[in-house]
């Protein structure tokens, strides 16, 4: 059984919370980032995990 933590990905530029995903727990200190499309910025931006 794998422990998975639900995280929200927020646009780094406008702060809009556009995506939710899960990540495997156990890597403390690792920050999840992803390049995804933001409908507010109308372009691809870096999305960073937030609580």
Among 2-10, 21-29, 30-38, the segment contacting Zn ion (CB under 5 A) = 30-38
Q: Does the footprint of Zn ion cover residue 9 (CB under 5 A)?
A: no
Host H or E run for residue 44: strand 43-50
Query: What's the rounded Cα separation, in Å, for the pair 41 and 25?
Result: 30
Among 41, 46, 48, 49, binds Zn ion (CB under 5 A): 41
Q: Does the footprint of Zn ion cover residue 10 (CB under 5 A)?
A: no
Closest CA to 34 of 13, 24, 49: 49
Give contact residues for Zn ion (rule: CB under 5 A).
11, 13-14, 16, 38, 40-41
């Amino acid at each position: 059984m794998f422990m998975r933590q639900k995280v929200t990905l927020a646009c780094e530029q406008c702060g809009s919370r556009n995506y939710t995903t899960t990540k495997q727990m156990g890597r403390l200190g690792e920050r999840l980032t992803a390049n995804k499309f933001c409908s507010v910025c109308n372009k691809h931006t870096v999305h960073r995990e937030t609580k």
